[in-house]
Structure 1
Amino acid sequence: MSNRQFDIVREDMHRRYDHMCPPEMVDRVLDETISESVERARIGSFMTVMVEREATDRLEQEVAQGRAMDRRRKELLFVCRRNAGRSQLASALTRWLVGNRIMVRSVGLEPAEGVDPTVVQVLRERGISTRELYQKTIIPRTVHTSDVVVLMGVDEVPGVPGLRYVRWDIDDPEGEPVGRVRVIADEVERHIRGLLEELGVLGKTAA
Structure 2
Amino acid sequence: MSESRGQDGLISPDAVLIRASERLAHQFAGMVSEETVERVVFESYASLGRTASVKTHLPSLAEKFARDRLTALAQSKGLIAKGVPEVLYVCVQNSGRSQMAAAITRHLAGDTVHVRSAGSQPAGGLLPEVVTVLEEAGISVGDEFPKPLTDDVVRAADAVITMGCGDACPIYPGKRYLDWELADPAEFDLDGVRAVRDEIRANVESLLAELTPVAH
Q: Above 0.5 in TM-score?
A: yes
Residues 45/107 of structure 1: CA separation in 2 closer, same or farther (3 Å cut)? closer
Q: For 1:1-207, list aligned pairs within 5 A.
A: 28-29=26-27, 45-46=56-57, 47-63=59-75, 65-68=77-80, 71-156=82-167, 158-161=169-172, 163-200=175-212, 203-204=215-216
- Determine if contact 2:69/2:152 at 8 Å carries over to the other structure: no
Q: Which moved further from structure 2: 52-61 or 76-85?
A: 52-61
Secondary structure, counterpart of 1:76 in structure 2: strand
- Between stretches 184-193 and 153-162, larger displacement belongs to 153-162
Partners of 2:210 and 2:182 in 1: CA distance = 19
Cα distance 1:45–1:82, how it changes in 2: closer, same or farther (>3 A)?
closer
Contact 2:72 2:155 in 1 (8 A): no
Residue 131 of structure 2 aligns to a residue in which SS? helix
Q: Is the 1:98–1:202 contact (alpha carbons within 8 Å) kept by the matching residues of 2?
A: no
Residue 167 of structure 1: CA displacement? 1.5
Cα displacement string for residues 53-104 of structure 1 (whole angstroms, at most 9, x for unaligned residues):
3324434544565434x55421111111222211110011111112232221
Q: Percent identity?
A: 30
CA distance in 2, matches of 1:48, 1:82: 21
In the alignment, the residues of structure 2 paired with residue 169 and residue 180 of structure 1 have an alpha-carbon distance, to the nearest angstrom, of: 15
Shift of 1:132: 3.9
The 3-state SS of whatever aligns with 2:160 is strand
Matched residue count:
181
Residue 45 (structure 1) shift: 4.5
Is the partner of 2:186 in helix, strand or coil? Answer: coil
Contact 1:145 1:160 in 2 (8 A): no
Q: Deviations over 1:88-146 (max 9, x none)?
A: 10011111112232221112122223211110111122221213421122222443142
Match of 1:18?
none
Matches of 1:45 and 1:171, distance apart in 2: 32
Q: Deviations over 1:15-47 (max 9, x none)?
A: xxxxxxxxxx99932898xx959x979999424
Q: Which amino acid aligns with 1:99?
A: G
Distance (Å, rounded) in 2 between the aligned partners of 1:109 and 1:88: 13
- Over 3 Å counting, the alpha-carbon distance change for 1:194 and 1:169 in structure 2 is same
